A and B are shown apart, each in its own frame.
Chain A
Amino acid sequence: VQLVESGGGLAQPGRSLRLSCTTSGFTFGEYSMSWFRQAPGKGLEWVGFIRDKGYGGTTEYAASVKGRFSISRDDSKSIAYLQMNSLKTEDTAVYYCSRGAKWPDYWGQGTLVTVSS
């Protein structure tokens, strides 16, 4: 099982970024996929997740990102996405994707998002 995040970088406040989580080694379509983040020197924060299509492919989000971030998936490519709009400086963090929702078992290495003017 492998998960690799990409798409991080520097963005100005108010701008957008899209992160990708490219996976391999498991049947992607059978799993929920989650996103977490960790601000510099801080603890872990749940961002949200997307259910597998068997459970409607619906999403759940933390209040801090609801309405600004959206999670999607492409089962044909085994990729999960995190679209981040209206970025704020407090969104600066390493973003991790993981497999599963209620207990995220495999994690990627993370990608750093820095929001600064």
Chain B
Amino acid sequence: SQTIHQWPATLVQPVGSPLSLECTVEGTSNPNLYWYRQAAGRGLQLLFYSVGIGQISSEVPQNLSASRPQDRQFILSSKKLLLSDSGFYLCAWSVASWGYYEQYFGPGTRLTVT
């Protein structure tokens, strides 16, 4: 069966510090990978998605970047965190099934920028 891991689970970082969040998927090959952010009391915001190694698409201009160095690894980074980067960061994966896409989420990383 497929599993998705995210770490760390929680993170408190000062403004201006760098960020690296990691997501890995097991049990599937060539998944589509996604990074979402969920701000407190708000909905999901898609940040990045990737259809393959080295292929990253950004949905919104922002202070963050993403990379996919391996098939089942997705990394979210920032060189200098802003207060507005606080939130619940979720990684998700999907594969094509009969033309539609269900997305399966990881446990999330709760980031607080102080």
Q: Do A and B come from one complex?
A: no
**B interface, CB within 8 angstroms of A:** none
**A interface, CB within 8 angstroms of B:** none
